[in-house]
Chain A
Amino acid sequence: MHSDSQSPPPIIQVRDLTLGFGGTPLLEHLSFDIAPGEIFVILGGSGCGKSTLLKHMIGLYEPMAGEVVIGGEVFTGTEGQARRDILRRFGVMYQMGALFGSMTLLENVRLPLEEFTGLPDEAMDLVARLKLQLVGLAGFEQHMPAEISGGMQKRAAIARAMALDPDILFLDEPSAGLDPITSAELDQLILRLSRILGITFVVVTHELPSIFTIADRVIMLDKETRGILAQGDPAHLRDHSEHPWVRRFFNREATEAS
């Protein structure tokens, strides 16, 4: 799934993006492309703005400068129906799942279908059940989010994000707060969805096993230079990056012996 010179046009383009809060830039002049079908991982140390970058890419925050292009359409600053059309192209899984607590899992997955499609009631139920089955949650349709484990909540959130069959899934820290086995199962789910459905994944994480399992390509953000420190294949960066900090990150070494 690596992009090569013959590859189709990128599905997401980040062009000269500067972002921050209160006039203070957190990251400056970021530019990168993501190819269709790619599993793209955003890395960086704590507090460098990984999740903030993701939230800018999905349009929750307005950047200070630059733009995000999704599927060839400029997303940043677009309003109205054009914006909703772009929103329809991607789904988001938030760090803690962000399932609606007053609804069952089935109702959570049904919600986008109810709001945006004219499917008959039974068809919506079936589609929602199929999505839950796809993430391994068959039989939990009538459970409330509070009644299932954290890993299951995240899978349900992926099912909800996939309700309208998006081309792109954004995942914010899928492994956060999960035990290694559950985390590995989530990785396998991501790989399976990528293989079967050809979904493009943009993942923010700093779980090393996850990165080596799923990532086609990573970018590593840097707090000091407020830019991209390195990008490429994670195994290659681990062994051959010219940046000592990048090699240390992938080899899980502390910055200084203390």
Chain B
Amino acid sequence: MGVHRRSLILSSLAIWSDMFNGLPWSPCVPVEKKTSVNEGGAQLKASIGPAGECILVLAGRLDAYTVGPLWPRAGRMLQDHADTPVRVDLAAVDYCDGAGVALLLDLLRQTRAPGAEVTLVNVPTKVAQLLEPFDASALASPSRTRRPPGLGRRLGDGVHDLGRDLYNHVVFVGEAAAALAHGLAHPSRVRWKDALRIAQEAGVNALPIVALIAFLMGVILAFQSAVAMKQFGAEIFVANLVALSLFRELGPLMTAILLAGRSASAFAAEIGTMKVNEELNALTTMGLDPVRFLVVTRVMAAVIIAPLLTIFADLVGLMGGAMVMMTFDVPLVAFMNQVSHAVSPGDFLGGLFKATVFGLVIAGVGCLRGLETRTGASAVGISTTRAVVSAIILIVVLDGLFAVIFFHLGI
């Protein structure tokens, strides 16, 4: 343990001294590098000198590991001798690092009565070199910390930021709508190759997870309702429940949430990284509009794949339901027959319409958050999080709105 600790300390000292090589002062004084750390440590003794002054004797190694215990004791000793001069004798200090220097400066910077100043005596040359760049009197007042702004200021800033965000969102929606309309009017100007690549990444590669979640949903819905319905001999109506829930609500909703988790985050991260790397600036100075170039391809890809993924989720969910029903002795044919009677084209198409709108919103929010990325390493992470959270909130709010609208339209 002791050997390990010593080697750790020596290696950290070596790094410290390497860092400062070439400076006019050397931060470490390896008088006896081999002295045992455990034995040596640092000592502090106080005594009264011939003229009644207090003499503090510091000895041994003054480093980051040894000065900690000394620090409060030294401070107390100074307070105990507030009215007499204090001489700090450093003759026996054989090693001093940045922490040791800080301790000495802390002693020097204390406010003392006139005639009761703290002085350093018998300062070894190397320690003097270390002290040379610093001015103890400049450290007398505590370092200025930035005062946190008051409540009024923070409130004002918050409202200002909110207003600016809202403005940016309106501008973005306008720009994106214009760019989409332009893309639809001039399909040859859309970068379909990029859109296909994105559609593959966000759609095809999402099939396994969508299948897993949808299948489980079908199984759980069917199983939970079948147990209850069996008591009334109404197992066959489980098919209605599963099919309607999946086609109208859960298929589009779960697909959208998966798409938000997988792709809104990916869009935000990709565009955010491009912004941090100045790739967006490069597009702008090439005369290419980042919204048209990056957002349109992603929105188009999402709008195409969201309904397709939803159809896939609906079918896999039905398979899950059918499998459970077979264990309840409902044959597949009866299940499918019941489903085809229960689900109208309106249910199916309404779900797909919702999925399409969800796709539009997910891609839009992902891109918006990416474009909003500020500078710095954490900025992309923040954008990604905001993209997923905003997308899910918007999906849930929109789903509620759709429920009301579909109810009034009688769909």
* Docked-complex contact A92 and B279, CB < 8 angstroms: no
CB distance A98 to B282 under 8 Å? Answer: yes
Let me know if A94 and B278 touch, CB within 8 A. yes
| A87/B277 in contact, CB under 8 A | no
Q: Could you say which of A96, A98, A100, A102 has the most chain B C-beta atoms within 10 Å of its C-beta? A: A98
- Minimal Cβ-Cβ distance residue in A for B280: A98
Question: Is the CB–CB distance between B285 and A92 below 8 Å?
Answer: yes
B:267-286 near A, CB below 8 Å: 273-274, 277-279, 281-282, 284-286
Chain A residues within 8 Å of B52, by CB:
none
The answer to whether A116 and B287 have CB atoms under 8 Å apart is yes
Q: Is the CB of B278 within 8 A of A111?
A: no
Please give the distance in Å from A64's CB to the nearest CB on chain B.
19
Q: Are B284 and A94 in touch, CB under 8 angstroms? A: no
Closest CB of chain B to A258's CB: distance in Å?
7
Q: Could you tell me the distance between the alpha carbons of A83 and B277 in the complex, rounded to whole angstroms?
A: 24
Q: Any chain B CB within 8 A of the CB of A243? A: no
Instruction: Establish whether residues B285 and A87, one from each chain, have CB atoms under 8 Å apart when the complex forms.
Output: yes
Contact between A95 and B288, CB atoms less than 8 A apart: no
Chain B: CB-nearest residue to A164: B286
Is the Cβ of B282 less than 8 Å from the Cβ of A94? yes
A83 / chain B contacts, CB cutoff of 8 Å: 287
Give the chain A neighbours of B277 by CB distance below 8 A.
96, 98, 101
> Which single residue of chain B is at the shortest CB-CB distance from A103?
B194
Chain B, 94-143, CB within 8 A of any chain A CB: 133
In chain A, what residue has the closest Cβ to B276? A96
In contact, B281 and A60 (Cβ under 8 angstroms): yes
Q: Is A248 an interface residue (CB 8 A)?
A: no
B376 within 8 A of A: no
Instruction: Judge if A238 is at the interface, Cβ distance under 8 Å.
Output: no
When distances are taken between beta carbons in the complex, the residues of chain B under 8 Å from A91 are: 285
Chain A residues near B281: list those with CB within 8 A: 55, 60, 92, 94, 98
The verdict on B148 contacting chain A, using a C-beta distance below 8 Å, is no
B24 contacts chain A at the CB level, 8 A cutoff: yes
* Chain B, Cβ-Cβ closest to A58: B285
Does A112 count as interface, using CB distance less than 8 angstroms? yes
**CA distance in complex: A84, B284 (Å):** 10
A111–B284 CB distance below 8 A: no
Known contacts A258-B24, A258-B133; is-contact A100 B285 (Cβ 8 Å): no
Contact (Cβ within 8 A) B285 A60: yes
Closest to A257 in B: B24
Q: Are A96 and B286 in contact (CB under 8 A)?
A: no
Interface residues on B, range: 10 to 19
A88 adjacent to B278 (CB under 8 Å): no
Give residues 42-99 of A contacting B (CB, 8 Å): 55, 58-60, 83-84, 87-88, 90-92, 94-96, 98-99
Q: Are B278 and A115 in contact (CB under 8 A)?
A: no
Contacts of A100 in B (CB 8 A): 274, 279, 282
CB-CB under 8 A for A111 and B24, given A94-B281, A96-B277 = no
Which residues of chain A come closer than 8 Å to B133, judged between CB atoms? 258
Give 29 pairs: A residue, B residue, CB < 8 Å, sorted on A: A55-B281, A58-B285, A59-B284, A59-B285, A60-B281, A60-B285, A87-B285, A87-B286, A87-B287, A90-B285, A91-B285, A92-B282, A94-B281, A95-B278, A96-B277, A98-B282, A99-B279, A100-B274, A100-B279, A101-B273, A101-B274, A101-B277, A102-B197, A111-B286, A112-B286, A115-B287, A116-B287, A157-B282, A258-B24
A76 to B279, CA, bound (A): 22
Residues of chain B lying within 8 A (CB to CB) of residue A96: 277-278
**From A112, which residue of chain B is reached at the shortest CB distance?**
B286
Task: Check A101 against B279 for contact (C-beta < 8 Å).
Answer: yes
Q: How far is the CB of A108 from chain B (nearest CB, A)?
A: 9
Q: Are A98 and B287 in contact (CB under 8 A)?
A: no
B282 surroundings in chain A (CB, below 8 A): 92, 94, 98, 100, 157, 160
Distance A114 CA – B278 CA, assembled complex (angstroms): 21
**Which residues of chain A in 135-161 are interfacial with respect to chain B, using CB atoms and an 8 Å cutoff?**
157, 160
Q: Which residues of A contact B288 (CB under 8 A)?
A: 111, 115
Closest approach, in angstroms, between the C-beta of B274 and any C-beta of chain A?
8
Distance of B83 from chain A, by nearest CB (Å): 38
**A180 → chain B, closest Cβ, in Å?**
19
B178 vs chain A, min Cβ distance (A): 13
Known contacts A258-B24, A258-B133: A88-B287 contact under CB 8 Å = yes
Complex: A100 Cα to B277 Cα, angstroms = 9
Q: How far is the CB of B282 from chain A (nearest CB, A)?
A: 4
**Chain A contacts for B287, CB-based, 8 A:** 83-84, 87-88, 115-116
Contact: A98 with B24, CB < 8 Å? no
Given A92-B281, A92-B285, A95-B278, 9 more pairs with CB closer than 8 A: A60-B281, A84-B287, A87-B285, A92-B282, A94-B282, A96-B278, A101-B279, A102-B197, A116-B287
Report how far A58 CA is from B197 CA in the complex, Å: 32
Instruction: Give the complex CA separation of A91 and B287 in angstroms.
Output: 10
Q: Which B residues are in CB contact (< 8 Å) with A90?
A: 285
Cα A111 to Cα B287 in complex, Å, equals: 11
User: How many angstroms from the CA of A4 to the CA of B79 in the assembled complex?
Assistant: 75
What is the CB-to-nearest-CB distance from B267 to chain A, in angstroms, rounded to a whole number?
13
Q: How far is the CA of A91 from the CA of B24 in the complex (A)?
A: 46
Residues of B within 8 Å of A102, CB to CB, are 197
Most chain A CB within 10 A, of B278, B284, B288, is at: B278
Query: Which 3 pairs, one residue from A and one from B, show the smallest C-beta to C-beta distance?
Result: A87-B287, A98-B278, A98-B282
Chain A residues with CB under 8 Å of B279's CB are 98-101
- Which residues on A sit within 8 Å (CB–CB) of B278? 94-96, 98
A160 to B133, CA, bound (A): 50
> Could you tell me which residues of chain A, from 95 to 140, have a CB within 8 Å of some CB in chain B?
95-96, 98-102, 111-112, 115-116
CA distance A98 to B278 in the complex (A): 5
